[in-house]
């Protein structure tokens, strides 16, 4: 019985509702912001267990999170876009 409840819960909330919200949000967001939001899943997947003391962060996982967040910030700020456009890329 517990397994059926878990399947129904994840089907309804984690799949159907999440998909509908994502589809609605993608209509109003730029592709860059949509990509950043979608890529944040891995970061939150690491931060939530750390915050709840369910996992202990390692130096490697912390470095990976910093690299991911930095990449997202750089892509959002579009620091290198003018240089690429002037180079014809």
Give the global pTM: 0.48
The helix-helix angle for 18-28 and 31-51 (nearest 10°) equals 140
Per-residue pLDDT for the chain (89 aa), expressed as one digit of tens each?
888 888 888 888 878 888 888 888 888 988 877 877 777 777 788 788 888 888 888 899 888 888 888 887 777 776 656 665 565 55
pLDDT at 66: 85
- Rounded Cα–Cα distance for residues 76 and 74 (Å): 5
Nearest CA among 84, 81, 50 for reference residue 64: 50
- Rounded Cα–Cα distance for residues 66 and 47 (Å): 12
- Rounded Cα–Cα distance for residues 41 and 67 (Å): 14
pLDDT at 87: 59
pLDDT at 33: 79
For the chain, the structural domain boundaries read 2-86
């Amino acid at each position: 019985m517990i397994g059926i409840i878990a399947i129904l819960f994840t089907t309804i909330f984690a799949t159907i509702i999440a998909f509908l919200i994502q589809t609605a949000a993608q209509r109003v967001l730029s592709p860059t912001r949509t990509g950043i939001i979608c890529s944040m899943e891995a970061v939150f997947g690491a931060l939530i267990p750390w915050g709840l003391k369910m996992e202990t962060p390692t130096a490697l996982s912390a470095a990976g999170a910093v690299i991911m967040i930095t990449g997202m910030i750089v892509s959002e700020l579009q620091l290198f876009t003018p240089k690429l456009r002037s180079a014809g890329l």
